Structures are given as structure tokens and as C-alpha cells.
Amino acid sequence: MRAGRSAVVSAAPAAGIPSGVVMSRTIEISFARSAKPSDELSVLLAADGGRLGAAAQAVDPSGVLARAFRISGFRGKARATTEIVAAQGSPSDRIAVVGVGDPASPQPDGWARLGGAAAGQLGKARKATVFLDVPGIEIGAREAADFAFGMLLRAYSFDRYKTKKGEDDANGAAGKVAVTIVAAAATAAKKEFAAAQAVAEGVLLARDLVNEPANLLGPLEFAERARELGRLGVKVEILTEKEMKKLGMGALLGVAQGSVRPPRLAVMQWNGAPRNRRPVAFVGKGVVFDTGGNSMKPASGMEDMKGDMGGAAAVTGLMHALAARKATVNAIGVIGLVENMVDGNAQRPGDIVTSMSGQTIEVLNTDAEGRLVLADAIWYCIDRFKPAFAIDLATLTGAVMVALGQHHAGLFSNNDELAGRLLAAGLATQERVWRLPLGPEYDKLIDSKNADMKNIGGRYGGSITAAQFLQRFVKDTAWAHLDIAGTAMGSPATEISQGWASGFGVRLLDRLVRDNYEG
């Protein structure tokens, strides 16, 4: 355990809990077919109209909940919550109720979000019993496991550097809570949950990396976090500056040269399928801090640029998830780790660099650095591994936030099938993506007078010209680019996230792999 870490994700029965993942509360989840209500907190579900399941009888024998619903206006709307101090005769001190809405119209990603809403009701409880029982809904193993998954995601908060734990925590408490989930499908749910827990760990790892301040998470420290995946059976190589020089990664190195902290390229391989199966590949932008370099950013809000490694964090979290759940796929993760700083040796606007591909780039704006890092990381990945497809993730442009806000990532692809699968995985996980165009007219905008290309287009279509730039480094590989500037960081709180670092991309890509590339 690292210093200042408050707790480790856990679930009972615990299966090899990896370190590297923290949350404000340790939730120990167990499943049972039946159980007595906790003497502290019972959580019930209610369908629309406030209709309760059979479990309510034992929790609320005097039936005061109906009255409480009337007073509070609680109608069982999906993810609405209400709570009461239990009446005399109840075995629990407190009863919380989570609405599931209309049983006939399930919500996308509904069970995880319901679990998140339930976790938001834990308060200071040390023990809680959740009864997954509601009229008109068959709650299977998958639903129960998703519910537990949502609880884990909601419980995370970044409080490693708070020396007074829990006092002003969003959940109002720190420490351990034992949650018993009572569900008819308990035995099967426990099995399903093992995989869900692996994915949760991946999401929380990604959030943790994004939340860490840049003074404590430089390229070397990030590379060490990637190396830790070795414990899960991931093969990890870390390329040094010298090795990258030898490979001719002039684009990535040009960005890195303004920082006293040297760059790294981490290569992660999870071999979960037979050797002869072509790997799938994921490439992440890992700018641990982006000052803009000599084309410097304004002071206001610059602190957010500690999150400019959200793409690399998602790739690392995804590799964790795939390995921890032993996905039957061969997957590659490549992350380019650099710091974009201002310095006597920092690159200048107008500099011309030669990328590993041999193509030359005129750097007209040192703040358009992410594409320079990715140009070499993508080329290296495709050249070495010849993957079935490559997907890159990057907090690449402010323009994508102007276009799509914070609720969709920008999707660019040269392959309709891959794009369609990403769109579908996005709807299933509610990590949504929205496709934007590519085309020769846009590509032309990055032609340069002095080199093969320049690293900025004009005023318009900034996310598109950034994507066109990347496309010049993918050869004919099936490729997709996810611009996650609006979704990975500065994110609003949701049922399953307390905000800022969302871990965006881990669930999306785990789902993409699970639904299309395993077996």
C-alpha cells in the first residue's frame, strides 16, 4: 500500500485483490439468497408508484414506508432515492429506498446506476443489506453483479492526500462497509461479479491516475504504475529516451525535450488467446502535464492539465481489466508518457521534427502536442504488432468539448464496422461516443509549406484536423480515434462517479472487446 491510501477495493469472497486501486470506502460485497436485514441499514428497491417487493415486509413490518413515500413525494422513479429512520419493530436503524422506475422500460446501464444510487445512501453504515427484489422484474445474476459493480464505482473518491479522512467526504464516511446483496440468483451473481470487479478495478485505476497531481505522477511514476500490471500476467516493457531516439521518435521526443523529467513509452501485452490470433491494440496519450510549452496556455484552469494523460490512464485501466478478468483476447496497450513544459530547451513554434514513420512535421503550435506524441506511439504500435485494429484515446482538443460537451467522446474512424461496434458499446455502457467526419478536404488543411505536414489546421474543425493528423500514421490499419477531452476529466458527478476523473474508456473498450473479440 502507498502512503496516504485510505482503503483498497475488496469484495467477499475476495479473489486476489490487486493493489493500485483505492476508494474512500472499502465495500465488502457478498451475495446471499436470503439474509436477515442488517441492524444498521437496509436498502430496498421500489418500482414506479412506490411499489415494494416482498422483502419490505421484514424490513418495515409496520408499513410506515408507504406513508414516508407520500410525505416525501417519492414515486419510485428510476434512481430516485429516499430514506427514513426506521420505526419501532424494524430490525434496521435506517431504511433507504432506490427507485427502479417502470419495470417494462429498463434504462441503459440501469443496474450499475441503481447500484451507484444505492451506494450513495450508505452514509456512515458499517453493515448494510440490499434486497434486490421488486415487483414485475426478474433480477438475474447479471443484474445483481452490475448493481454491485455500480456500488464499487460510486464509492471511489480521491482522498489520498486528505489527512483527515472522511469528515467532508461526499459520502460522509470513510472506512469499511460490509454489504450483503440479497438476490434469488446469488450463486451465479457471485461468479458474474468476479469479472465486474476486475473492470471496476480498471476504472478506478484510470481515475486514480487522472486525479494524481503531476508533481507526483511524472512519466517515470506512470510507467511504474503500468509495470505493476506485471502482477496480473501482463507483459510490460518500458522504453527509455535512448531507445526512443534509436527508433527515431522525433515527434514524441520534441514534446518531451522541454521537461527535466524524461519520457517513457510503456508497452503492455495481455496474451489471453492463442498465439496465432491477431492482437487488438489500444494507444493512449499520456501527457502528464500540458503547459502548452512555448505556445503557452493561460493560467486560468491550467491545473486541469494534470489530467492530460486520460487516454493513457484509460489504456492502463483497460489492460488491468482485461488481465484481471482473464479476457480471452490478445491485447496490446501502448502509452506515450511525456511532460509538455516551458524551458530553455523546449521546442519552438516553427521547429521541424522527423517522426518514426519518416514523415516530417512542422510544429506551428507547441500546445498541439498530443498528436505529436500519438504519431510515434501509434506508428510504433502498428508497425511492431500489426494489430487487427488500433484504437487511440486522447484528451486531444478543446474543440471536441465545444462540439459535443461532456457527454459524448468524439469518434473518428476509417472503418465503419469498428465505428459501429464502438457506438454500440457506448450505448451499452453509457460511455457514449459520437462519430465525426474525416475526409480529404480536412486532410488538406494540415499540409505544410515547409514539411510533410503541420501540427495545426486552421480555425475551424479543430478536432477533425487533429484526427486527420493521426490518420497519417495508421497506414491501412482499421483504426478509431476517441477524443476524450470532454469526458475523461472535469466530469460531472453521476450515480457511479463522484466526479472529475471519470475513468472514461475502460468500460467502453472492455465492452467492445467482450462483445466482439473474445471466445
Interface positions with ligand BES (CB under 6 A): 290, 308, 365, 367-370, 395-399, 456, 462, 485
Buried b (16+ CB within 10 A) or exposed e, 133-157: bbeebebbbebbbbbbbbbbbbbbb
CB of 465: closest distance to ligand BES in angstroms? Answer: 8
Using the contact rule CB under 5 A, the part of the chain among 13-21, 288-296, 311-319, 407-415 near Mn ion is 288-296
Q: Is residue 483 at the binding interface for Mn ion, with CB under 5 A as the rule?
A: no
CB of 241: closest distance to ligand BES in angstroms? Answer: 21
Name every residue whose Cβ is closer than 8 Å to that of residue 162 and which is 6 or more positions away in sequence.
none
Looking at beta carbons only, is 72 or 365 nearer to ligand BES?
Answer: 365
Contact 294, 263 (CB under 8 A): no
CB of 258: closest distance to Mn ion in angstroms? Answer: 12
Cβ-proximal residue to ligand BES, closest one: 398
Identify residues 325-384 at the interface with Mn ion (CB under 5 A): 367, 369
User: Nine-digit cell at 34?
Assistant: 436470503
CB of 317: closest distance to Zn ion in angstroms? Answer: 19
Q: DSSP class of residue 216?
A: T
Q: Of 79, 306, 371, 432, which residue is the catalytic one?
A: 371
Phi (first) and psi of residue 418, to 5 degrees:
-60, -45
Among the residues of 228-338, which ranges form H helices? 241-247, 250-256, 310-324
How far is 397 from 335, CA to CA, in rounded Å? Answer: 18
Name the nearest CA neighbour of 444 among 421, 460, 432, 431: 460
CB under 5 to 8 A by kind: which of ligand BES, Mn ion, Zn ion, none does 399 bind? ligand BES
Cβ-proximal residue to Mn ion, closest one: 367
Give the binding-site size for Mn ion (rule: CB under 5 A).
3
Give the contact letters, 366-405, x = binds to Zn ion (CB under 5 A), - = no. ----x-----------------------------------
Give, for 428, the enclosing helix (H) or strand (E): helix 416-429
CB under 5 to 8 A by kind: which of Zn ion, Mn ion, ligand BES, none does 485 bind? ligand BES
Looking at beta carbons only, is 290 or 351 nearer to Mn ion?
Answer: 290
CB of 398: closest distance to ligand BES in angstroms? Answer: 3
Q: DSSP class of residue 262?
A: P
How far is 289 from 225, CA to CA, in rounded Å? Answer: 17
Catalytic residue at 94?
no
Cβ-proximal residue to Zn ion, closest one: 290
Catalytic residue at 297?
yes
CB of 207: closest distance to ligand BES in angstroms? Answer: 16
Name the nearest CA neighbour of 374 among 306, 469, 458: 469
Give, for 480, the enclosing helix (H) or strand (E): strand 478-483
User: Nine-digit cell at 346?
Assistant: 523546449
Looking at beta carbons only, is 162 or 297 nearer to ligand BES?
Answer: 297
Looking at beta carbons only, is 64 or 296 nearer to ligand BES?
Answer: 296
Using CA atoms, how far residue 305 sits from 81, 244, 363, 467, 489, in Å, is: 35, 24, 20, 20, 9
Name every residue whose Cβ is closer than 8 Å to that of residue 8 and which is 6 or more positions away in sequence.
1, 17, 19, 21, 22, 23, 26
Looking from the CA of 343 toward its CB, the CA atoms found within 13 Å total 15
Give the contact letters, 289-318, x = binds to Zn ion (CB under 5 A), - = no. -x-----------------x----------
Looking at beta carbons only, is 140 or 349 nearer to ligand BES?
Answer: 349
Looking at beta carbons only, is 125 or 400 nearer to ligand BES?
Answer: 400
The region that residue 373 occupies, defined by phi over 0 for left and psi between -120 and 50 for alpha, beta otherwise, is alpha
Residue showing cell 488543411: 445
Looking at beta carbons only, is 129 or 355 nearer to Zn ion?
Answer: 355
Looking at beta carbons only, is 133 or 452 nearer to ligand BES?
Answer: 452
Q: Of 160, 231, 297, 475, which residue is the catalytic one?
A: 297
CB of 158: closest distance to ligand BES in angstroms? Answer: 18
Catalytic residues, by residue number, are 297, 371
Q: List interacting residues with Zn ion (CB under 5 A).
A: 287, 290, 308, 370
List residues binding Mn ion (CB under 5 A).
290, 367, 369
